[in-house]
Structure formats: C-alpha cells, structure tokens
Structure 1
Amino acid sequence: MIEAREAPDQRRGISGWLRANLFNGPLNSVVSVVVIGLLAWILWPFLKWAVVDANFLGSTRADCTGSGACWVFISARFESIIYGFYPAAERWRVDIVFALMAVLVAWLAIPRLPKKRLVGLFTLIGFPIIAWFLLLGGHFGLPEVPTRAWGGLMLTLTVATVGIVGSLPLGVILALGRRSKMPFVKSVCVIFIEFWRGVPLITVLFMASVMLPLFVPGNVEFDKLLRALIGIMFFWSAYMAEVVRGGLQAIGKGQNEAGQALGLGYWQRMGLIILPQALKLVIPGIVNTFIALFKDTSLVLIIGLFDLLAIIRAGLTDSNWLGFSTEGYVFAALVFWIFCFSMSRYSQYIERRLNTSYRR
C-alpha cells in the first residue's frame, strides 16, 4: 500500500508562484532570502536616486531641488527626443505614422485577430509607402520636411524598421544563393556576404556618407538618410544570410527529396517545405540580429543624423542643463531596453507557438 501523502497545493497567483519557485524547500528558501537581500542592498540606492528623491515636475533647472535624479530634463526636452528637429506644426504626421505602426504591430501580435496575411502584406508594402509620403511630404499638399530635420526616436524607429524589413528577405536570398549549385551565383553571394561581414558598420556608414557621392554624377542628389539605410540593410543582410544558412543546413536532405518526389520545383520546395522549417529553427538567431541592428542605429550619429541617443547628447550641451548626463543616458538605455526586451519576449512566444517537436 502507498502511504498517505499531503494534498497538492491548490494556491494560485503570486503566493503559489513564490512557494513553487522560491520557497519550495529549506535550502531553496535560504538561498532565495539571501539573493533577495543582496538585490535589495544593491538596487535600493539606485531606486532612491531614480524614484524616491527624484524630481519629475517642472520646466527649468531651478525645479531640480532634490538630491536624486532630475527627470525634469527629460520632460522639458521630451518633444525633441521624440521628433528631433521635425517642425512642430507638422508633427501630427509623425503621430499618425506611430499610431498606424502600433496598430499593425498589435494586429500581427495578437493571435485571435483575423486576416494576418493581408495585414502582414500591407505592413511590408503599404505601410512603408504611406509612412514615407507622410514623413517626407512634398505631395498631396503636405509641406516637404527634408530628412536632415528628422531625428530622435522617430529616426531610430525609421532606421531600425527599414533595416529589419530589408535585411531579412535579402538575407534569405543570399543564403539560398550561397547554397546554390550554380558557380556564378554562389560566388557572387559568397563575395557579398564576406565583404560586408568583414568591415565595421561605422566604416560602412562613413563610406555611404562621404565616399558614395563621389561616384555619382554631380547633378544627382543622393539623400544622406537613404544612403545610411542602404548601407545598414546590406550590412545586416550579410549577417542574416549566415543565420538563415545555419537553419537551411539543419534541415535533412530527406525533406528536399520528398518535395522532388511530389514533383515540386525548386522555389516550391523552398517556399513550402524547406524555408518554413529553417526559419522556425533560427528564430532566436534572427531576433538576436534584429536586436543588434536596433542598438546599432545609434551609430548614424557619425554621419550627422541625430537619433534618440544623439538628440539626448545634444541636449546635454545646453548650458541650462549641464550636469544631467546620467539622467539622459539612463532614459536612453531604458527606451532601448524596452524595445529590445519586447522583441525578445515576442520571439519566445513565437517559438512556443510554432513548436512542433515531439516530447516524451
């Protein structure tokens, strides 16, 4: 006979999670208490500086009267941090682009919403066109706003979005070309990938900004932002190609042979059988590349484009706000962390949803 055992713990919520994960035994409880104490000892000075003794309301330096952080610097320059040098009268166009982008991302992220394919196609094709016409202007009665007036979070999201949307399909094509049996196609893809992976991104941006105009006719105006976007897209597509190639090599040749047995052509086999499995396997690598791309958008400062971090650094040179660099950099780090952490968590959700492995 089996001896009587205690009834299972039916508690749910925070108390149930704490009991199951942190305090499910004497040793685990002691370790949890020690770690929580160390974290409190380390984090409390930062929380005291950032929250307890901080100043949040005001508009000038004189409103920073506490011994903690002066977040008045962020609130006073919040519009320039978001819009850069975009004209105040036209910032409603940026708001529309932000709102449309948020709606599309939410639509694609929420599983129960219908028409995912149509929304995804519109996000990849229609949204960039609409955003370009709205932000740049010069058509449909909208005043033109040159790209040199773009900046702040708006410019960071523009560079990151174009880089992400452009590097993934180009990287897939390069990965397929590198595995091609045609010598010319394979050689071109290998040279392209190894060239762009062998140079720093700073060099790419500098060449795109300074050297590239020397190779085009003098009467051709090549926008600086467009040059930077092309350079970033080419640079990260090379890294994306190697990530995708790793996924392609993980798929057994039996999958390709099965497609051939069904009479499918090369592109049908790739589009219906091989690529869906390969891309699913390398979701962590793809998202890791996206996160690195998003963080490297701050490098556009070297070619005179003022992204989020550059706008904050420019605000610190104002004589009225000298000495508040810590608040500015902490705020920039928080914004970057929010976007990168969101991408990471969503990729984990996609991995769980697409997980088709058989578990014992």
Structure 2
Amino acid sequence: MANALQPLVSGRRNALDWWLRERVWPSPFHILLSFATLALVVPICVKIANWAIFDAVFVSTGPESCRDAVGACWAVIAEKHRVILFGLYPFDEQWRPTLAVAIYLITVIVTLTPRFWSLRLLVPLWTIAVFVIGALMYGGIGPLRIVPTTEWGGLALTMIMFSGTVILGFPIAVLLALGRRSHLALLRSVSVVLIETLRGVPLITILFVAVNVFPLFLPAGTNVDKLLRVTIGIAIFFACYQAETIRGGLQAVPEGQYEAAKALGLRYWQMTGRIILPQALRIAFPAIMNHVIAAMKNTSFVMIIGLFDILTATTAVMQDPVWRKYYVEAYTFVGFVYFAFGFALSIYARLMERRMNKGYVS
C-alpha cells in the first residue's frame, strides 16, 4: 500500500516544489518582495481582525455598551438593520419585501443555472416571479394593504432597480450596437446620436430628467410612477455603455463568419441571431459583466432623487444622534452587501467564461 501511494505523494511534492520555485521565490528579488509584502500586509490584517472581530461588540442593550469598546460596534446593525434593509417600508409589513427578495434570488439562481436555460421554463418563471414580487411589494390583493412605491426601500428596492436596469437595458444595448453597425444611414445616425449623447452626460442628469423634466411632456392628468421612470432612465444609460461593449464584440468576429452565413443563404436576422451575435457576446462577455456589476452599484445614485435604496436608508438611519458615531460600522455592512453580490457575479462570470471557452480554439 505504501509503495502504491509513493508516486502520488512524490507527484504532489514535486508540484509543490515547482509552485514555490516558480510562483513564490523564482529569484532573490521575488523573495525580498514577498517578505516585504508580508511585513506590510500582516500588521494591517491583524489590526483589522482585532477591530472587526476580537475587540468588537456584537450584542448590546444600547449604545452605552459600545462606549468603552476598543473595536467595532456591530450592535448598530442589530439595532438599525430593519431601516437599512427595508427603508421606509411599514414595519409590520416587512415580511413582504423579505419574501420578495427570497423569491427574486431563487429566480435569479435558476436563471443563471445552465441546465435550466430554456425559454419554455424561464419566460413563465420570470412572469410569475415578477407578478408575485409586485403583488408582495405593492399589495392591493386580498389581505395585503397597498404600499406605494414611495415607501419602498432598502435591499428590495436596490434589487428591483438593478434587475429592471439589466432586463430592460440589455436588449436595447444589443439593438443599439447592431444599429450603429447598420448600413442604413438613418438607423446608424440615430444609434450614434443616442449613444454618444447619453454617454456624454452624468447619470445624475438622466435621473433629474426622468424625475423632473419627463413629466412635463406627458398629457395633463397622466402620471408615470417615479420608480418606473428612474429604472427606465438607468436602463437606457446602461444600454448606451453596454452597446459599445457589444459593438466591440461584433467587430472582433472574423469577416469570414459573415461571408459563410451569407453563402448558406441566411437572412440578416438569422445570421445575426444564430452565428454572429453569440460569438460577439462570448468575446465581449468579461466587459459585459463589468458593466452589469457597475449597474448594481449605480442604483445608489437614486439617493439624489429621494428613493431609499440600501445606501440611502443607511445614510438616513445614521442621523440618529445616539448611534451616529458608529457610521463606519453601518457603511461597512452596506459595503459588504454590495461586495457579496458583486463578488458572486464575478465568480459566476469566471465560471461562464470557462464554460464558453471549452473546446474553443482561437
């Protein structure tokens, strides 16, 4: 038995030796650089660990418990988590956004799982999910009392705006990218003007237009919900940036692919949908995911126009003079929430890149 395991042990030892020799200390300079990095990073990590974990206060009956604390006072999260996570949503109805976020996350996980990639499944799934989430958040059905969108807030509002931005914006981005490469002068000009105009102004300007200027052009008595206007505005802004990313992918597709598709007698939309666009999206996928993650963080801009996303809710709750000095802990918690979603998207993006590159020869 020992003789049988010897090649395995020897192989692992050789692999470790190779890794240390090639990746850790391939030269005396790299050895010095590694030790210098450790000397810089370790003390910082120790101080952060002491502040965040070992010297921190996690449970308290009030701010007086944190008065003499050396480390962080995470008790502020336990005290204010409802406002941070739910914003202005009525206290006794906060089970509704909790359930809505759970349904949303389950729907997203199913959507991102390759084995469930079928329009016959995903279209009904999202239709039902949107209806249920909307019913839970707004109410007006059965015993659920109506909660207007002006009272929505926290994590649920952030997720709704993020999903709306991506779901509405991505198809528009594809159409704008195709329009900018179109041989039709009018279509190409409209796409160029729209992309360059909206990319050239800050997102804050678009939000201001959506909230204050757009209603001026509506017929008298017509009212479009503020949350819907803001989500559409962010979606169009997202689409203009994403369109240029997709256009880069389209330009990277070899010209021979177009010629081969035309030789097979495929029409424009058949060629684009079956051959060109899948290759362009695969090429541009890393940059596409980068804009998707940025879109999630861009939802924090709605604080300017009075919507209580998770960051705005945290800012509002930290106005409490009793807990105000523990703002670092509150914003650290919100930063961790954003990081968790962003990091999850990054991991998924890497997994999808490996899946798409399997069997692909460049």
CA distance in 2, matches of 1:189, 1:146: 36
Does residue 81 in structure 1 map to residue 100 in structure 2?
no
- Structure 2 CA distance, aligned partners of 1:325 and 1:16? 47
Counterpart of 2:350 (choices 326, 348, 351) is: 348
Structure 1's 181 and 22: CA in aligned 2 closer, same or farther, altered over 3 A?
Answer: closer
Give the structure with the higher percent helix.
2
Equivalent position of 1:136 in the other structure = 138
Q: Describe the SS at the equivalent of 2:89.
A: coil
Instruction: Determine if contact 1:74/1:328 at 8 Å carries over to the other structure.
Output: yes
Aligned twin of 2:105 = 102
Q: Distance in 2 between matches of 1:271 and 1:135?
A: 36
Q: Compute the RMSD of aligned alpha carbons.
A: 2.7
Q: What is the aligned-residue identity percentage?
A: 38
- Show the 5 A alignment for 1:172-183: 172-183=174-185
Instruction: Give the aligned residue type for 2:123.
Output: L
Q: How far is the alpha carbon of 1:234 from its aligned partner?
A: 0.9
1:67 and 2:70 matched: yes
TM-score, with normalisation over the residues of structure 1? 0.89
Q: 2:293·2:345 contact (CA, 8 Å) conserved in 1?
A: yes
Q: Which residue of 2 aligns with 1:357?
A: 360
Question: Which of 313, 333, 337 is residue 315 of structure 2 equivalent to?
Answer: 313
The answer as to whether partners of 1:94 and 1:154 remain within 8 angstroms in 2 is: yes
* Pairwise CA distance, 1:9: 3.4
Output the CA distance in 1 between the equivalents of 2:262 and 2:162. Answer: 39
Give the counterpart letter for 2:98 in structure 1: D
Give the corresponding residue for 1:3: none
Confirm or deny that 1:93 pairs with 2:104: no
Q: Which residue does the alignment assign to 1:190?
A: 192
Aligned-partner Cα distance in 2 for 1:101–1:162: 12
- For 2:241 and 2:211, how far apart are their aligned partners in 1? 22
Change over 3 Å in CA distance of 1:17–1:99 after alignment to 2? farther
Q: Which residue of 1 aligns with 2:3?
A: none
Change (3 A) 1:264 1:79: same
What is the aligned partner in structure 1 of residue 6 from structure 2?
Answer: none
Tell me if the contact between 1:175 and 1:241 (Cα under 8 Å) persists in the aligned partners.
yes
What is the CA deviation profile of residues 169-214 of structure 1, one whole-angstrom value per residue up to 9, with x for unaligned ones? Answer: 1100111111111122212211111111111100111111111222
Amino acid at match of 1:105: V
Structure 1 residue 22: Cα displacement: 5.8
Equivalents in 2 of 1:109, 1:51: separation in Å? 34
The superposition leaves residues 46-66 of structure 1 with CA deviations (integer Å, 9 ceiling, x where unpaired) of 221111111111242122141
**CA offsets per residue over residues 24-50 of structure 1, 9 Å max, x none?**
667455543432232111222222111
1:330-358, CA deviations, whole angstroms, 9 ceiling, x for partnerless residues?
11211111111111121111111100432
SS of the residue aligned with 2:322?
helix
User: How many residues are matched?
Assistant: 353
Q: How does 1:88-167 map to 2 (within 5 A)?
A: 88-111=91-114, 113-114=115-116, 116-122=118-124, 124-167=126-169
CA distance in 1, matches of 2:190, 2:54: 59
The answer to whether residue 198 in structure 2 is matched with residue 207 in structure 1 is no
Aligned 8 A contact 1:208 1:231 in 2: yes
Distance 1:88 1:36 in 2: 48
Q: How does 1:334-345 map to 2 (within 5 A)?
A: 334-345=336-347
Partners of 1:118 and 1:61 in 2: how far apart? 53
Partner deviation per Cα, 1:74-114 (whole Å, 9 max, x = no partner): 11111111111112333232222222222223324445x44
The answer for unaligned runs of 5 or more in structure 1 is 1-6
- Partner letter of residue 192 of structure 1? L
Q: For 1:271-282, what aligned pairs fall within 5 Å after superposition?
A: 271-282=273-284
Q: Distance in 2 between matches of 1:130 and 1:182?
A: 42
Instruction: Say which SS state the counterpart of residue 129 (structure 1) adopts.
Output: helix
Give me the whole-angstrom Cα distance separating, in 1, the residues matched to 2:25 and 2:127: 52
What is the letter of the counterpart of residue 107 of structure 1?
A: V
Q: Contact 1:309/1:332 (CA < 8 Å) preserved in 2?
A: yes
**Cα distance change on mapping 1:68 and 1:204 into 2, 3 Å:** same
In structure 2, distance between residues paired with 1:130 and 1:255? 43
Question: What's the offset of the Cα at 1:23?
Answer: 5.0
Q: Distance in 2 between matches of 1:57 and 1:22?
A: 43
2:58 partner SS: coil
- Mean Cα displacement is larger for which, 33-42 or 69-78? 33-42
Q: Partner amino acid for 1:79?
A: R
CA apart distance, 1:230: 1.1
Q: Which ranges in structure 2 are unaligned for 5 or more consecutive residues?
A: 1-8
Is the 8 Å Cα contact of residues 54 and 66 (structure 1) preserved in structure 2? yes
Residue 11 (structure 2) aligns with:
9
- 2:55–2:71 Cα contact (<8 Å) kept: yes
